[in-house]
Amino acid sequence: MTTLSAQLSHISNPMVSRHSPYPDELIEIASLEQAATARNEISRWPDYHATPLYRLDSIARQIGVRGILYKDESQRFHLKSFKALGGAFAVARQLQQRIRQETGNSASIEDLLQRRYPAIVENIVISCATDGNHGRSVAWGCQLFGCGCIIYIHRDVSEGRKQAMEAFGAEVIRIDGNYDASVKQADADAQAHGRIIVSDTSYPGYMDIPRDVAIGYTVMLAEAVEQMQGEIPTHVFIQAGVGGLAAAVCAYFWELWGERRPRFVVVEPEQANCLQQSAVSGKPVAVEGDLETLMAGLSCGEVSLLAWQVLQTGADDFMTLSEDAVAPCMRLLAANDPAIEAGESAVAGLGAAIAAREDRKMAATLGLDESSLVFVIGTEGATDPELYQQLVAS
């Protein structure tokens, strides 16, 4: 029997309206048209293929739901993370914009891949701060298209993740602070040295590039909808750091399905619940402290402003999941048939769904029952192989 001894905290979003159409003002942030453009471009990258959508029938039976759909991003390109779609896509967009500014030409993805503007591209340096996966995507995109790359990481990012970014040719700088401190340092140094910041979090005055990152993520959602073959989930449990992925998923399904869209549940670590705290306050709130969590990719204390614009009225629920659910969920997926490789930050959505179904009161609050079809995204594989082996074997 599948059980988790996880602790959950939950609030319902008083701002959400299930009958509201997708707001016109959000079309500028993310739209199905923009998503289609991103898929057209990304599908032409080397080694592109749609990642699998698994039906976790055994787990669904054990917890008493109609089905669980698991989008497995551990196989996304060779980066083992959905982040491969966002950071590299935003890098391409920035290079295309610079080429247009300097030549008047509209450079295609093929132009970038074939290095047809080396005099311009090779003099551009892209930078960002990262917990690991976003930086790996940015570094890979820079290597793919031929520009420079400098990545900032914080004190808690593993050496394995640092080396993975260096393997793509990036210069990696570690700071003595948390994720939010690394964001500030990367931004300050970029302004001083003329670098382009490609971040997955947004703030006043910095909105366009994170929008491109989020639009890149929608490629996996278009794939998933096709793989669902006409089914519409009743629930989405989606993990969140700054909220970029959660907002992309919420916006895509909201515009696509309208009132038929799934109940949308945002899941965060207990120690880094900036979205839940923001929902309580009705405005963006920063969570202070070291933000320590095993789910390192979700260790974020400040909400992305773009993400908040979507989630403040689009998300139905905000939950936190305790750390003790992480390793058991990873082991559960590793023992699945077929075996699924899921990293620490990949399992928060699934873990919250399982734990919520096991809690009678929580299940009733969320409308999670025998008729429910749950959609989750396994956002990463073993992006830190040593840590993965420790947790799965424990």
**CA pair distance 22, 252, nearest whole angstrom:** 9
The Cα 234–Cα 373 span in angstroms is 5
- Token readout for 20 is 């509201």
What angle in degrees, to the nearest 10, is found between the helix axes of 208-228 and 305-314? Answer: 40
- Among this protein's residues, is 131 annotated catalytic? yes
Decide: helix, strand or coil at residue 9.
strand
What domains can be seen in the chain, in order of their start residue?
A: 8-81+211-393 (3.40.50.1100), 83-209 (3.40.50.1100)
- Give the contacts of 363 (CB within 8 A, at least 6 positions apart): 356, 357, 369
pLDDT at 265 over 90: yes
* Predicted local distance difference test score (pLDDT) of residue 215: 95
- Count other C-beta atoms under 10 Å from residue 61's C-beta: 13
Percent of the chain with pLDDT over 70: 99
Average pLDDT over the chain, rounded to an integer: 94
- On the CB side of 179, how many CA atoms lie within 13 Å of its CA? 28
- pLDDT for 275: 96
Catalytic residue among 72, 80, 131, 212: 131
pLDDT digits (tens, 9 = 90+) for 191-244: 999 999 999 888 888 899 999 999 999 999 999 999 999 999 999 999 999 999
Would you state the structure tokens that stand for residue 197, as one six-digit string?
């910041």
Map residue 263 onto helix, strand or coil: strand
C-alpha 320/C-alpha 330 separation (Å) is: 18
Measured CA distances, 239 to 120, 295, 349 (Å): 38, 10, 5
First-to-last C-alpha distance (Å) of the chain: 19
Catalytic residue among 71, 72, 80, 83: 83
The C-alpha angle with vertex 294 and arms to 291 and 297, in degrees rounded to 5, equals: 75
pLDDT (0 to 100) of residue 394? 74
Contact, 201 vs 210, CB < 8 A?
yes
Q: Percent of the chain scored above 90 by pLDDT? A: 82
Digit-coded pLDDT (tens) for 335-358: 999 999 999 999 999 999 999 999
Residue 17 pLDDT: 86
The predicted model scores a pTM of: 0.94
CA atoms within 13 A on the CB side of 299: 28
Q: What is the mean pLDDT of residues 246-257?
A: 96
Q: Provide the sign of the torsion angle of the four alpha carbons 97, 99, 103, 104, taken in this order.
A: negative
Mean pLDDT of 138-148: 97
Task: Read off the pLDDT band of 29 (50, 70, 90).
Answer: confident
> According to the model, what pLDDT value does residue 133 have?
84
pLDDT at residue number 3: 65
Tell me whether residue 290 is one of the annotated catalytic residues. Answer: no
State residue 278's pLDDT score.
Answer: 95
Angle between helices 32-42 and 208-228 (to 10 degrees): 80
Phi-psi region at 146: left, alpha or beta (left = phi > 0; alpha = psi -120 to 50): left
Q: Give residue 67's pLDDT.
A: 98
User: What is the pLDDT at residue 353?
Assistant: 97
Residue 367, Cβ neighbours under 10 Å: how many? 12
Segment 62-78 shows an average pLDDT of 96
Render pLDDT for 290-305 as a digit per residue (tens, 0 to 9): 778 889 888 888 899 9
* pLDDT in the model for residue 1: 47
Please give the structure tokens belonging to residue 105: 């030409």
